[in-house]
Structure 1
Amino acid sequence: MTTTTVPQDARHQPLSQADKLTQDAAEASRIRKLSTHPDVIALRVEKVRTQVDRLMWTGLLLGLAFTMVNVQTFAAAGAAIWSLPWLAAWLLDPMVSLVLVAVLRAEQITARYQVEMRTETLGPWVRRTKLFAFLATYVMNTWQSWSHLHVSGIVLHSVPPVMVYLAAETGPILRDRLTEAVVRAARLVPGATDTTVNTRPSTQDSNADTLTNTPSAPVADQRAPRSRKPAAQKATKPRRPSRYEYLDRVRTAHQPGIVVTPAWVREVVPDISRGTSKVVSDLLNAELDTPHITTDTTAVDLPGRAA
């Protein structure tokens, strides 16, 4: 004999259909708030970032390992196996690859926290070092194929170095965009400064009073350190402008006839990164291609005045 269980409340009374729907709506609302909370979004983006980094580095290391044999053959130049020149030839590719990996690792961290590696502050040597490492690897890897004009060998030995170069250039941009996704989520979701999702008051004073661990202290004593600390932080570390602030600046500087390119954006805004300049130029081009309906009263009155 089987018995069916009817949903009941705390008073052991059967729930009506409306009560069950009310519970489902409350649960769905709680799940939605948690799924759109900035901390949850940051955690999901961090997981994606980890996957992207692992796949990028796996491809980079496999590509560099593939080129090692060809570079060793190029450096050995027909030396006898296990001879001193033959053994020393194995050191050439790691010497170039380790320097390249060091530069890529530094770019990975700076892109993770959106720190701009500007040429005017670091000089051109970072990019020169990376380009020289790629070109040296490519030339040594394909020299024999080019000397014999072996087309299939040129294609075969060109793919790994070129793929390594493309992955190295794309990786920092992807990490910067993932960080921008977290920043945008924190900017769009109300109450982004809260560490938990609950029914706290939305004002900053109420949050400060609720989060403090010393309720018996006077209110003035609790708020004084909080008001001084942000001022000190702003004085020592200025806030990094967002892409929309950059967009406002280039929109003001734009004039008819100017072709909007990432290079032009960097001329107008010298402190912008390459990846952000590309995004800002795309946004401005999209605005220029889209007709806008102006709400300026002077523009509306022009036809009347002409009449």
Structure 2
Amino acid sequence: MIRRREGVAAAGQPPVRRLAREAAEAAEVRSYQTDPDVIALRVERVRAEVDRLCWTGIGLGLAFTMANVQHFAAGDAAAWSLPWLTAWLLDPTVSLVLLAILRAEQVTARWQVRTGPWVRCAKWLALTATYVMNTWSSYATGSLAGVVLHSVPPLLVFAAAEAVTDLRDKLTQAATVAGRVHEPPKPRTLFADYLADARAAWTPGVTINPAWIRKVTSCSRGLSSKLAAALSAEVQEERS
């Protein structure tokens, strides 16, 4: 009953007051939405979601290639023999190196630190080796369907490994740019403010010149001459 009366009272407000209240509420909401910390938090949430999806896709792609690589490495070895069991180690060897590089790039891209050429070379070598070992049997038998089937996961992992680094870098840039755009502008220092600072710093016996003005106020070179002249005039007036 009380809420209903409040709603009726709000509906009965003059249009100007109602619009003013709505404008104030909208301004408050916008101030929070455009706050650099809020924007950075949203970007971090998106970054975490992108990382989870990409890591899931890369993990599933590498898991799919494991059986193909084992079959390639085992060859005609009998099942559960020592060569057959050892063949299962080949794909994890390559995949672990690849995952280590991607994990390191996840941190470097977060802080926009560029890695050296050997990092990319190792990543491409691991991805190329995975692709060749997955598709070799299909190429050898002339099975185009097999080539396509076994090409999709390694190529997708390759593309995702390159794309996820750029995405992290761009998300960091987005947070930085958003914070810079919505940063409140610094108030402009007026001539009177500079003059007041110079007046407070001056003591009898100090020579008033543009160089001294720039030292105590950090003003521009062009403004320092005017400030020196104005302060000198004040000092002469006080003396007279």
**Which TM-score applies when normalising by structure 2?**
0.72
Which structure shows the higher helix fraction? 2
Residue-by-residue CA offset, 1:256-305 (whole Å, 9 max, x unaligned): xxxxxxxxxxxxxxxxxxxxxxxxxxxxxxxxxxxxxxxxxxxxxxxxxx
What secondary structure, in the 3-state scheme, does the structure 2 residue paired with 1:90 have?
Answer: helix
The one-letter code matched in structure 1 to 2:99 is V
Compared CA separation, residues 125 and 19, structure 1 to 2 (3 A)? same
Taking the TM superposition and a 5 Å limit, the aligned residue runs for 1:21-36 are 21-36=19-34
What secondary structure, in the 3-state scheme, does the structure 2 residue paired with 1:81 have?
Answer: coil
Structure 2 counterpart of 1:183, from 176, 181, 186: 176
Conserved? CA contact 1:114–1:179, under 8 Å: yes
RMSD over aligned CA atoms reads 2.4
Structure 2 counterpart of 1:128, from 107, 111, 121: 121
Indicate the residue corresponding to 2:100 in structure 1: 102
The one-letter code matched in structure 2 to 1:95 is T
Structure 2's unaligned 5+ residue stretches are 189-240
What secondary structure, in the 3-state scheme, does the structure 1 residue paired with 2:43 have?
Answer: helix
- State how far apart, in whole Å, the 2-side matches of 1:6 and 1:162 are: 62
Residue-by-residue CA offset, 1:67-115 (whole Å, 9 max, x unaligned): 0000000111121111111111111100000000000111111111111
Structure 2 counterpart of 1:146, from 134, 139, 148: 139
| Shift of residue 7, structure 1, vs aligned partner | 5.4
The count of aligned residue pairs is 186
Indicate the residue corresponding to 2:155 in structure 1: 162
Structure 2 counterpart of 1:112, from 62, 86, 110: 110
Instruction: Compare CA radii of gyration and give the structure with the larger one.
Output: 2
Conserved? CA contact 2:94–2:126, under 8 Å: yes
What secondary structure, in the 3-state scheme, does the structure 1 residue paired with 2:62 have?
Answer: helix
Conserved? CA contact 1:34–1:40, under 8 Å: yes
Conserved? CA contact 1:100–1:130, under 8 Å: yes
Residue-by-residue CA offset, 1:126-184 (whole Å, 9 max, x unaligned): 12211111111111111110111110000100111111111111111111111111111
Indicate the residue corresponding to 1:63 in structure 2: 61
Conserved? CA contact 1:7–1:15, under 8 Å: no
What secondary structure, in the 3-state scheme, does the structure 1 residue paired with 2:50 have?
Answer: helix
Compared CA separation, residues 144 and 38, structure 1 to 2 (3 A)? same
Compared CA separation, residues 59 and 191, structure 1 to 2 (3 A)? same
Structure 1's unaligned 5+ residue stretches are 193-201, 205-307
Compared CA separation, residues 34 and 152, structure 1 to 2 (3 A)? same
Runs of 4+ in 1 over 3 A off after TM superposition: 1-4, 6-9, 14-17
- State how far apart, in whole Å, the 2-side matches of 1:127 and 1:50 are: 23
Identity, % of aligned positions: 56
